[in-house]
Amino acid sequence: MPEKILIVDDDVDTLRLVGIMLQRQGYQIAAAANGQQGLAKALEEKPDLILLDVMMPDMDGYEVTRRLRADPATAKIPILMFTAKSQLDDKVTGFQSGADDYLTKPTHPSELQAHIKALFARGPSQPKAVPERHGHVTGVLSARGGLGVSAIAVNLAVGLFTRSQSQVALAEMTPGKGTLGLDLGLPNQKALVSLLRGNPSEVTRERVKKALISHISGVSLLLASENPADLSLVANVLQYEALVRQLAAFASFSVLDMGSTLLPFVQKTLPLCDEVVVVVEGVPNTIVHTQTLIGALIGMGMKPDRIIAALNLRVRSDTQLPVGVVQEKLGHPISVTVTPAAELFTQATRMQTAAILCQPEGATARQFRLLADLIIQNEATV
């Protein structure tokens, strides 16, 4: 497969002429007419090399380079600055911002080709200023709504914090369907909406860190809005991908409240998850739906041993099937069972905290600690 080169330049003639020349050399070409487009294209196209102009109206090449190097998804892409700025200070600034090579316009095509070949021969860039870090990411999902996904997610996140004493982030991922903000006394949250409405390149680590809210439980929260009109943002899959990558770079453990069904953003971010907790209840129709969901997850490349089935028995009812029967019908092991504790969860909402903290020595807290320990064990084997 030919190497892909992204050309970022506001000069249309340069885009056209250089693009044609490189295509004739057998390279695949992508183009962007300004810095913001270049950042978005870098995330979308994942080029093997970026040919970058410096003098652009919205954002100069130095700033584009700094942002590319700050994002783990683009940090290693080789960058060749190709510009009319020929002063020594300009070149120094280019290299300081993270460029791998610097070439001044105009230049002979053979010289440009030689620089490109040299960068490909050198391999991916290894920027020292951006240390690689990938925290453990867990998605929480159900086949349909109303199964207690948010309750499982928040108590799992708090359990991970109490067991690991490390940085834990909990992200409510479905805008327009926010419930945790109301439950925790933090309504009218706009941070997730703001991140999803912006350009993917604007979903930087610094912006994500600023969007997180510190909770008394020790967990950092990214909360969804309650405005149903915001639900359309679930189609902004590139922003979601950037968000999850930045959370993973920031927190040791990230828990994603993915809601129900395989929405577009769920399908895009599942490959970034180390495992998925699938919430099910002991009702025949729900078991059938969950069995189908698990099959779909496996079809998307998720390993069966990284799909954790959590049986949430939300209410005491004769219609709830026993654990053994649920497991047999589901065709997948049940790793944890949350027994009915309606009064406890009501108390947690009243106290604006997680149920696991209301009765730390109770059965429900033990069940969530068991789930947290399972995630921690998985993290050690990734």
Q: What is the pLDDT tens value at each position of the chain, 382 positions in all?
A: 689 999 999 888 888 888 898 998 889 999 999 998 999 999 999 999 999 999 888 889 889 999 999 888 898 999 999 887 767 777 888 888 899 999 888 778 888 889 999 888 876 655 444 434 578 999 999 999 999 999 999 999 999 999 998 999 999 999 999 999 899 988 888 999 999 998 888 888 889 999 999 998 999 999 999 999 999 999 999 999 999 999 998 899 999 999 998 999 999 999 999 999 999 999 999 999 999 999 999 999 999 999 999 999 877 667 788 899 999 999 999 999 998 888 999 998 899 899 999 999 999 999 999 999 999 998 877 6
Fold of 4-122: Rossmann fold (3.40.50)
The CA distance from 42 to 31, in Å, is 10
Asked if the 136-381 domain carries CATH number 3.40.50.300, the reply is yes
Place of tokens 């320990």: 373
**Residue intervals in the chain for CATH 3.40.50.2300:** 4-122
348, 282 in Cβ contact below 8 A?
no
**Residue intervals in the chain for CATH 3.40.50.300:** 136-381
Q: Fill in the amino acid letter for 296.
A: A
pTM as predicted: 0.69
The four Cα atoms 264, 266, 270, 276 give a dihedral, to 10 degrees, of: -150
The CA distance from 341 to 364, in Å, is 7
Residue-wise burial string across 40-51, b where 16 or more C-beta atoms lie within 10 A, e elsewhere: bbbbbbebbbbb
DSSP string, 264-325: HHHHHHGGG-SEEEEEE-S-HHHHHHHHHHHHHHHHTT--GGGEEEEEE--S--TTSPPHHH
Q: Fill in the amino acid letter for 245.
A: R
